[in-house]
Amino acid sequence: MSIFIQAEEMKAVFLEKLKAHGVTDMEIADECAAIMVENSVNGVYSHGVNRFPRMISYIDKGYIKPDMRPTLVQSFGAFEKWDGNLGMGNTNARICMDRAIALAKQFGIGCVALKNTNHWMRGGQYGLQAADAGCVGICWSNTMPNMPAWGGVDCRIGNNPFILCVPKEGGHLMMDGAMSQFSYGKLETTRLAGKKLPVIGGYDTNGELTDDPGEIEKSRRLIPMGYWKGSGMSILLDMIVTILSDGNSVCEVGKLGSDEYALSQIFIAINAEKTTDRREALLENIIEDVKNSIPVSEKSRPRVPNERSNHVREENLVDGVPVDESVWQTILAL
């Protein structure tokens, strides 16, 4: 059963729990709490309120060193290497995308390669951050091995979320997707809703293709998006982030144990403020054209990738964020 928690109350509770678990840098605590609330208000519960207990447990286990901030390792001009020092994943990511944006304002494009960081929660957040600054945002993270390479059975590659974001007045356009056809979060919510996946999402424990989310959770044999294509793209994203950051690759993260930490990430911002004086018209033109497609059915009309619809945000700001009661009780007891 869901209860509804106002954003302000949620932030106060997050802050209190972060302090109680040893976070002494109040700027980091405040920003971390703000990002977790923001994701929840925007409807990305899996990387907001629902993930908060695991974040706290990672602090307790020492994987996250919440008072550490990222530090510059090496500068090449518009491209910099940073060390996350195992600090908070979301505040590290925010700081590094800020740096990429600053470089983009100076050089037209900026890139930060970050090692030794932690789960950034909702990756799209940093794409939107770039777009808010008038930049195209491109970023990705590697993960623990959580998907078989195409042709393999055991988890050897990451689902390495990849984000593309374009600035637009009234709502940026964004693709924020894992290299797997479905995330574990989507499998869980679909299973809990008693539903099947809309398309085949992986294999069951007998090695048969299935649209049953629970079976895929058991086998951990997710299908990469586009089969060999998502598998190949996952591997390349991991290689790029590893050699540019000089950090852990997916397989090295896997060697750290069954928890996921010490990740590597890339943040690219490209300043789009002066490239054209008709940006809104160019984007509207693309959006209109896609929307004018002949639809497969009334239920299945083409969509332009966008932020989660604003009405979720508006509802959650007024009514409060819907939170599973047991999740909220867990958080209060942290």
Based on the residue annotation, tell me whether 21 is a catalytic residue of this protein: no
Catalytic residue among 47, 119, 172, 311: 47
Out of 116, 117, 265, 271, the residue judged to bind its own copies by CB under 8 A: 271
**Which residues are CB-neighbours of 149 under 8 A, at least 6 positions away?**
156, 157, 224, 231, 234, 235
Say whether residue 274 binds its own copies (CB under 8 A): yes
Sign of the CA dihedral running 308, 311, 312, 314: positive
User: Can you state the angle between helices 124-132 and 26-41, rounded to 10 degrees?
Assistant: 100
Identity of the residue, 93 or 131, whose beta carbon is nearer to its own copies in the bound complex: 131
Which 305-324 positions form the footprint of its own copies (CB under 8 A)? 305
CB of 207 to its own copies, least distance (A): 8
SS3 323: strand
Pull the structure tokens for residue 99: 């740096």
Say whether residue 171 binds its own copies (CB under 8 A): no
Identity of the residue, 280 or 319, whose beta carbon is nearer to its own copies in the bound complex: 280
Say whether residue 25 binds its own copies (CB under 8 A): no
Binding mask 59-98 for its own copies (x = CB under 8 A): ---------------xxxxxxxx-----------------
Out of 48, 161, 177, 213, the residue judged to bind its own copies by CB under 8 A: 177
Say whether residue 8 binds its own copies (CB under 8 A): no
Say whether residue 54 binds its own copies (CB under 8 A): no
User: What distance in Å separates the CA atoms of residue 190 and residue 182, rounded to the nearest whole number?
Assistant: 10
Say whether residue 225 binds its own copies (CB under 8 A): yes
Q: Is residue 295 exposed (0-12), middle (13-18) or buried (19+ Cβ within 10 Å)? A: exposed
Q: Which of 157, 127, 310 is nearest to 229 (CA)?
A: 157
Distances (CA, A) of 317 to 16, 28, 130, 171: 21, 23, 23, 17
Options 6-14, 99-107, 117-125, 316-324: segment touching its own copies (CB under 8 A) = 99-107
Out of 26, 153, 317, 332, the residue judged to bind its own copies by CB under 8 A: 153
Binding mask 130-149 for its own copies (x = CB under 8 A): ------x-----------xx
User: What distance in Å separates the CA atoms of residue 267 and residue 181, rounded to the nearest whole number?
Assistant: 23
Residues tagged active-site = 47
